[in-house]
Amino acid sequence: MIAPIVTVLGAGAMGSALATPLRDAGWEVRLWGTWLDDHLVAACRDGQPHPRTGVPLAAGTELFTAIELPSALDGAELVVLAVASAGAEEVTWRAARHLGTARAVLLTTKGLAPDTEGRVRLLPEAVADAAGERGITLPPVVAVGGPCKANEVAARRPTASVFAAPDAELAAELAKSVATEHYRAEALADRDGVEVCAPMKNVYAIALGIADGLGERGGHPWHDLKAAVFAQAVKELVLLCRSVGGDQATAYGLAGAGDLEVTGLSGRNKIYGARIGRGQSAVAALDAMRVAEQTVEGVPAARLATHLVDQRAPDTWPALPLLRAVTGILDGEADPVTRLTNAVLPST
């Protein structure tokens, strides 16, 4: 029996990590690196652990460089888009003409995207528009979310993800097709809810990181503040889900509270927030992250989220004090402690 082909677009941490459950589930996996991934592909070809996860690439995974995109997609039944949000539309535009055999696109990218008129879109709409520019209609786009740390997925540690599509039966079928003993997915119909939770948990993880940084600076934990931040973040995820027509249950589940929990424990957005909590300015902390080649996707997401609320649900602003606090801190407001405290603790 010939194994079905899945092409993963993006050889970064998550793209490479997903090769593990996909190979374990019986797929022929092709991992394609963008024009920014040459050093990652080279390391894997040399048999080194992946530079971003520290875990060797799953045995049998085929590697492709940026110029080999048509070959990487030839005959693929499933395509996984696993690039950073800033590159999602460009990669889709380049790949669109080679997706003729694909049944679906799994979207692991997390972000929001403005169109040419400034209207903020969720990523499934944005990548569909990018393909449309070439006269191509994308296969169904399935949002992949939930608390999935790339190094844990690659190392076969138990992971619960979410596959969401308007066609819930398709989401369930695809979730089953990639499931292994260690990697499993819940199927949902609420793609928009999953898609808004995905970038927003990065925004709120910055605030969770600030609480951690305060503890590191003073030598004493700020767990009470962090817990209050977490609770307020979940409340706001509920409102944001509603603002895009999603289900509030999504915010309470794996895609919302679950992903927020793991992102607030580790990851680039949390680390960025911790730098601010330790006393760095938002600008200096971001510059340090860039020098370390660490993208902090919560920063652009926070600014785009404010436009999303203005455009779709401006009446919810009084119930979104934490989003306002984070954007204020990113804009350089002094005293982030007071800003967070006033946002998440009951008023006196």
Res. 295: pLDDT tops 90: no
Residue 107 is predicted with a pLDDT of 98
Catalytic residue check, 201 = yes
Lowest-confidence segment of 8-12, 152-156, 295-299 by average pLDDT: 295-299
pTM of structure: 0.94
Q: Which residue in 201, 226, 235, 270 is the catalytic one?
A: 201
2: pLDDT confidence band, cut at 50, 70 and 90? confident
Mean pLDDT of the chain: 96
Residue 3 is predicted with a pLDDT of 92
Residue 267 is predicted with a pLDDT of 87
CB half-sphere exposure, 48, CA atoms < 13 A: 12
Spatial CA neighbour of 200 closest among 145, 260, 120: 260
Residue 204 is predicted with a pLDDT of 98
Per the CB < 8 A criterion, the answer to whether 343 and 324 are in contact is yes
Written as six digits, the tokens of 67 are: 């110029």
As a whole number, mean pLDDT of residues 26-32 equals 98
**What is the percent of the chain with per-residue pLDDT over 90, rounded to a whole number?**
95
Could you report the per-residue pLDDT of 94-150, keeping only the tens digit for each? 999 999 889 999 999 999 999 999 999 999 999 999 999 999 999 999 999 999 999
347: pLDDT confidence band, cut at 50, 70 and 90? confident
Could you report the per-residue pLDDT of 198-237, keeping only the tens digit for each? 999 999 999 999 999 999 999 999 999 999 999 999 999 9
- What lies within 8 Å, CB to CB, of 276 at 6+ separation is 206, 209, 210, 213, 282, 285, 329, 336
Could you report the per-residue pLDDT of 263-288, keeping only the tens digit for each? 999 889 999 999 999 999 999 999 99
Res. 1: pLDDT tops 80: no
Residue ranges of domains in the chain, CATH in brackets = 5-189 (3.40.50.720), 192-344 (1.10.1040.10)
